[in-house]
Amino acid sequence: MSIKVTLIPGDGIGPEVSYAAQSVITASHAPIEWEVVEAGEACIAEYGTPLPEHVLETIRRNKVALKGPITTPVGKGFRSVNVALRKQLQLYANVRHLKNLPNVPSRYEGVDIVVVRENTEDLYAGIEHMVGCDAAESIKIITREASERIGRYAFELARQEGRKRVTIVHKANIMKLSDGLFLESVRSVAHDYPEIECEDRIVDAMCMNLVQTPEQFDVLVLPNLYGDIISDLVAGIVGGLGVAPGANIGEMGAVFEAAHGSAPQIAGKNLANPLAMILSGIEMLKYLGFTEEAKRVETGIEHVLRQRDYITADLGGKSGTKEMAAAIIKAMG
């Protein structure tokens, strides 16, 4: 029986990388039936919003979506569709598997880190206001419930993937109440996972440690804002946003998407690297339990990266988006 998955092509390079990922996943023989729906700029004229209700409906119904990047207009109009999606669907965990890939330029070797970011609260709760004309206040929300939930998610992931250590990242020395509660809550969950080492680091020291010796880290768990920053930092460590997959996971479903944005400068030119989107597709296959199919795609990617004949310009090659996806499909056998 096939599983229905919502595909949102997105804006800018979104359609190019999404259809590339769709073709690769389909070629893996995973029994997936795609339901394609538009969200983003294309919807604004027709529906007055980049995230129409029927898009949310299909994700709620299918419970799994693969989503291309969506442009967020700066300073005017709509708030981020991505933030809205995570909130509406209660996708509380943002997860990025970031590791060195063959022939992907990076200053480091042997990095294999999972960043688990709390996705629903912290300064992203969006509670801010002006205090008079010359001051602004933004309120940071941290709850025991959400902190324990993300902590448990991180430790469960570590257990399932056979990982050894979870590092809690915080600034509890200064924000003793909010970050203190996050630290205390995640630590309280750690007791249920005695086989996994639990340690914590202050976020500024963590940045330095990551830049100096990233290979020492395994699973990181962070509140929303530090998670946002550190997940891009680790993406940079393994070769940039072009190779960084992502997943937003909740109790009612999951949305898989590349870490990069809609890159409007290169949209429609067949220049975008489809790898981050394809790697997000691999995460989706694993989430759905299609481990053999996921392995098949991994093998195809590894072959294409080692051979270097069909890689995009950002990886030092001359290939287009479509040609790279086709080469991966060919190498999957």
Q: List active site positions.
A: 124, 171, 204, 228
Written as one letter, the residue type at 113 is I
Q: Which candidate, 95, 78, 69, places its Cα nearest to that of 242?
A: 69
Question: Residue 122 has what DSSP assignment?
Answer: B
**Applying CB under 6 A, does 241 fall inside the site for ligand NAD?**
yes
235-262 burial: b if 16+ Cβ within 10 Å, else e: bbbbbbbbbbbbbbbbeebbbbbbbbbb
Q: What are phi and psi of 113, to 5 degrees?
A: -120, 140
Q: Which of 82, 100, 147, 185 binds ligand NAD (CB under 6 A)?
A: 82
Q: In angstroms, what is the minimal distance from the CB of 73 to ligand NAD?
A: 7
**Applying CB under 6 A, does 142 fall inside the site for ligand NAD?**
no
Residue of minimal Cβ distance to ligand NAD: 261
| Packed helices 81-88 and 53-62: angle between N→C axes, nearest 10 degrees | 50
Q: Which of 71, 120, 178, 248 binds ligand NAD (CB under 6 A)?
A: 71
Per-residue contact string for residues 196-215; x = within reach of ligand NAD by CB under 6 A? --------------------
Contact 259, 244 (CB under 8 A): yes
Q: Which of 260, 284, 286, 325 binds ligand NAD (CB under 6 A)?
A: 260
Measure the CA–CA gap between 119 and 94, rounded to whole angstroms. 6
Q: Which of 49, 72, 103, 209 binds ligand NAD (CB under 6 A)?
A: 72
Q: Which of 113, 263, 328, 332 binds ligand NAD (CB under 6 A)?
A: 263
Q: In angstroms, what is the minimal distance from the CB of 196 to ligand NAD?
A: 30
Measure the CA–CA gap between 159 and 105, rounded to whole angstroms. 30
Measure the CA–CA gap between 292 and 271, rounded to whole angstroms. 30
Sign of CA dihedral 41, 45, 46, 48: positive
**Applying CB under 6 A, does 185 fall inside the site for ligand NAD?**
no
Contact 128, 292 (CB under 8 A): no
**Applying CB under 6 A, does 272 fall inside the site for ligand NAD?**
yes
Q: How far is CA 303 from the centre of its chain?
A: 24
**Which of the ranges 147-155, 202-210, 223-231, 259-267 carries the binding residues for ligand NAD, by CB under 6 A?**
259-267
Q: Which of 15, 50, 239, 242 binds ligand NAD (CB under 6 A)?
A: 242
3-state secondary structure (DSSP) of residue 290: coil
**Applying CB under 6 A, does 314 fall inside the site for ligand NAD?**
yes
**Applying CB under 6 A, does 248 fall inside the site for ligand NAD?**
no
**Applying CB under 6 A, does 280 fall inside the site for ligand NAD?**
no
Measure the CA–CA gap between 140 and 150, rounded to whole angstroms. 17
Q: In angstroms, what is the minimal distance from the CB of 17 to ligand NAD?
A: 6
Contact 41, 49 (CB under 8 A): no
Q: In angstroms, what is the minimal distance from the CB of 261 to ligand NAD?
A: 2
| Beta-strand relationship, 93-99 and 247-249 | antiparallel
Query: Max Cα separation, the chain?
Result: 65
Q: Which of 52, 180, 236, 261 binds ligand NAD (CB under 6 A)?
A: 261
Q: Which of 55, 70, 301, 304 binds ligand NAD (CB under 6 A)?
A: 70
**Applying CB under 6 A, does 315 fall inside the site for ligand NAD?**
no
Pick the closer one to ligand NAD by CB: 245 or 300.
245
Which stretches of the chain bind ligand NAD, using CB under 6 A? 13, 17, 69-72, 82, 241-242, 257, 260-263, 265-266, 272-273, 276, 314
